Structure 1
């Protein structure tokens, strides 16, 4: 059953990634679509799963589907790796910028997603 849930959500994540890539241009070999998908995915995955789904006791299979299925297909390491190699061959400076933005930006986006919104504490939390 878990495979079907992951596959179902991956269909939507992959299509969202495709649409983002089609609508954001590659500028001088710099893959804006992949960068945007990975940064947005890091932020949204951290925010949605941590603050919305986990805090609301959402079913674990739904978290699996959204996290592994949707965001696993939306973000992509293979495209990041291939595009980095292509950039190194064409423009080493842009390749380093892409690496810094992707890795550093991804970590920072995940951090922001975790810190962006926290539900108000209940009085029972302090007893």
Structure 2
């Protein structure tokens, strides 16, 4: 049953990421990948704190939402390849900015997800 949940949610996450990519085209900076990765950090924190912490939620659903949807929605591989392409094009500053925003922003968005979840379920972030 886990595979079914992960598979269905992966399809939804992948299609959502593809849609975001279509909406955010035409930039010289890899905006679409940055957006999905930052939003994914927030979502995984929420899934971890709200959904996974609720004993009434089936573990298959938790796996589907976390591993499936968020895993397919976010993309470390695209982030890595885009940075290699920026570096090969001599855009070292842009690559550094992208890496910095992704790392610091990812942690910040995850923390925001924890804060949001804590307010929602009444736990300390």
| Structure 1 match to 2:6 | 6
Question: Offset of 1:26 from its aligned partner?
Answer: 4.3
- Does the CA-based 8 Å contact 1:26-1:33 persist in structure 2? no
Q: Deviations over 1:92-114 (max 9, x none)?
A: 10000000011111111111101
**Radius of gyration: which is bigger?**
1
| Structure 2 match to 1:120 | 122
Question: Offset of 1:115 from its aligned partner?
Answer: 1.3
- Does the CA-based 8 Å contact 1:26-1:32 persist in structure 2? no
Q: Which runs of 5+ in 2 are unaligned?
A: none
In 2: Cα distance, 1:19 partner to 1:67 partner: 19
| Structure 1 match to 2:94 | 94
Question: Offset of 1:67 from its aligned partner?
Answer: 0.2
Q: Which runs of 5+ in 1 are unaligned?
A: 122-127
Report the number of matched residues: 119
**Partner of 1:27: helix, strand, or coil?**
coil
Structure 1 runs of 4+ with >4 Å offset: none
Most deviating of 92-101 and 106-115: 106-115
Cα RMSD of the aligned pairs, angstroms, is 1.4
TM-score by length of 2: 0.88
